[in-house]
Structure 1
Amino acid sequence: MKSSNPVFSRRAFHRTGQTPHADDSPVGTNPYAQDTAGRSGNAHDADTAPDARPAAQHPGGTAMTIDDVVARTATTLATVVLCAVLAWVLLPVDEAGLSRSYGIAVGAGLLAFGLSLAQTFKARPVPALILAYAAFEGVFLGVISSVTSTCIGSGVVIQTVLGTMAVFAGVLIAYRMRWIRVTRRFYGFVTAAAIGFVLLNAANLLFSAFGGGDGLGLRSGGLGLVFGVVGILLGACFLALDFKQVEDGIAHGAPREESWLAAFGLTLTLVWIYVEALQLFSVLNGSDRSA
């Protein structure tokens, strides 16, 4: 199952010894899946049925393990958090200097986006590129969190962090309990919904830039609350897709270096959830203050 998150074209893992072109599988397919449909007589089972064959064995323990994924993800997230804290501490903001702060956030965000695209089109994961992305993403998150704390209140950032952690834990438990079943249909629905969500966001930004205010009103008031909840739900779906990708990679012998790709995808998804949760809690706290 090819994973999905804000970088929609991010490819899936591939086996050790597989050429970079061999995993150019159709969108939503699992490059590890075997012909389970032919054995069971039900094509739908091919989406979720586990491979009957054991995972590939690699000399010297070069196959990816869950410990590799956890370690790489912890390293990447630690880079994000460290840079966010440094940005918050070293780039203090007040209400008079918000434009400068937004400029730094936009610059860091664009650099992070560029680096994420560069990794997306690489044939193999590049740890330096992924960590550089995490660093600039951390600066972006640190600045917007500091600005939000200044304008709305310090509690909103704590709420956002706790909310992001709760979403991650909830989806992980639901996935492990098999309450969430990741199939091709699930993948197609999430991808279509995410593309629509991004396009609406882009339209809102354009109307805001040329017309002033909040554009289409998707980031304020009642509509902002609904849009924020939808964004977080999409992030939760991205997490399920990423968990499926990691599970398939480990079960079917992805090379150890691909754990960096798993860390990259999980970090992208958690950043998505954090940003959407920050927006949601900002609207909620802003409404409380105005009331």
Structure 2
Amino acid sequence: MESKNPVFARSNEWKRNGYATFDAPSSGQRRPADASAHTLEDWYQKPSATAAQSRRMTLDDVVLRTASLFAVLLVGAGVGYLGVRNGMGFGLVIVPALVAMVLGIWAQVSKKVRPGVMFAYAALEGVFVGAISTFYAFLYDGIVQQAVLGTLAAFAGMLLAYKTGIIRNSPRFTKILLIAGVGYLVFGLVNLVASLAGFGSVYSGGGPLAILVSAFGVVLASLFLVLDFDYIEQGIRNGLPVKESWRAGFGLMVTLVWLYLEILRLIAILRGND
């Protein structure tokens, strides 16, 4: 079963037992066994793949792309921080978040790997993350540093659990995470609508329920990292072209930002209850 990280779920190459192809005929095209001599000649006349096109993705490639995307995200976060400090306020949170969502969907559904769209997403998502983090920092001193350390600790813990076999991906594991993820998304949308309509939010005022729900979000985001690790490993094993490392880095960035925001909210709730 494929990864339920939306960045990886659309691509067959990330599945177990998949394989990398370079301009191979699609299912609607004839294969070499039944192709005409003219078609074969056309294929052979095509230029040879370049070194970059023929090189397979490695873990180093994934790390490099992930780091480059996070570098842009951090620059965007700095812009968001300065914007809030200069009184730009609520619009600096909502507008970049909405545009980033559109760009993220584009990067996700596009068959072509689009690093430019991914960098634009990282920049705008960074503005949103920087702005929302600054709002929290005004209320709770040191909370951003705590959330960053918590995110790094969760990432390291999940990676260790995955590499040692304590937590492994499986069809059942993926199915459970998918159901939980969809349920959490629906809950979040309902909670947002209720809050905007004046009925209040589950997180308002803290309390045991707010802590429980927020902790569930942290655990869920952490477990999605296991899916990311597994399907990046499968992609490398299946010999994907190096360009797919952009999609891998993008997927990790999306999950880690989600995890950071969940941890940030949980810490705020816990400190608000003190």
The normalised TM-score by structure 1 is: 0.78
What is the one-letter code of the residue matched to 1:147? Answer: F
Tell me, yes or no, if structure 1 residue 89 matches structure 2 residue 106.
no
Superposed displacement of residue 102, structure 1: 2.1
Counterpart check, 1:73 vs 2:78:
no
Question: Does the 8 A contact of 2:162 with 2:168 survive in 1?
Answer: yes
- The 5 Å alignment of 1:7-46 reads 7=6, 10-12=9-11, 14=13, 15-17=20-22
Q: How does 1:266-277 map to 2 (within 5 A)?
A: 266-277=252-263
The answer (yes or no) to whether the contact 1:101–1:147 under 8 Å persists in 2 is: no
Cα-Cα RMSD: 2.2
Q: Distance in 2 between matches of 1:21 and 1:131?
A: 30
2:242 pairs with 1:237: no
The Cα shift of 1:227 comes to: 1.1
1:220 aligns with 2:206: yes
SS in 2 for 1:186: helix
Greater gyration radius: 2
Q: Which of 183, 196, 202 is matched with 2:183 structurally?
A: 196
Unaligned runs of 5+ in 1: 23-57
In structure 2, the CA distance between the partners of 1:90 and 1:235, relative to structure 1 (3 Å rule), is same
Structure 1 residues 165 and 219, CA gap change in structure 2 (3 angstroms): farther
Deviation at 1:237, TM superposition (A): 1.3
Change (3 A) 1:21 1:106: farther
- Offset at residue 236 of structure 1 (A): 1.2
For residues 167-206 of structure 1, the aligned pairs below 5 Å read 167-206=154-193
Distance in structure 2 (CA, Å) of the matches to 1:125 and 1:134: 15
Q: 1:109 is matched with which residue?
A: 97
Alpha-carbon offset, residue 124 of structure 1: 2.0
C-alpha change, 1:19 and 1:226, in structure 2 (3 Å) is farther
1:18–1:238: structure 2 CA closer, same or farther, 3 Å change rule?
Answer: farther
Decide whether aligned partners of structure 1 residues 222 and 20 sit closer, same or farther in structure 2, where only a CA change above 3 A counts: farther
Superposed displacement of residue 169, structure 1: 0.5
> 1:194, CA displacement in angstroms?
0.4
Aligned partners of 1:264 and 1:243: how far apart in 2? 13
Per-residue CA deviation, residues 9-50 of structure 1 (Å, 9 max, x unaligned), is 84236223266977xxxxxxxxxxxxxxxxxxxxxxxxxxxx
Shift of 1:204: 0.6
- 1:136 matched to 2:129? The reply is no
Question: How far 1:81 moved relative to its partner?
Answer: 1.4
Q: How many angstroms does 1:218 deviate by?
A: 7.3
CA contact (8 A) 2:167 2:226 kept: yes
Structure 2 residue aligned with 1:284: 270
Cα distance in 1 for partners of 2:24, 2:106 equals 19
Query: Shift of residue 66 of structure 1?
Result: 0.5
After superposition, what is the alpha-carbon deviation per residue over 1:200-247, rounded to whole angstroms, capped at 9, x for unaligned?
A: 111111111112432x45783221111111111111111000001110
- TM-score, scaled to structure 2: 0.83
SS at match of 1:91: helix
Change (3 A) 1:182 1:231: same
The share of aligned pairs that are identical, in percent, is 37
Q: Give unpaired runs (5+ residues) of structure 2.
A: 14-19, 28-48
- Structure 2 counterpart of 1:16, which letter? T
Residues 1:18 and 1:277: Cα distance change in structure 2 (over 3 Å): farther
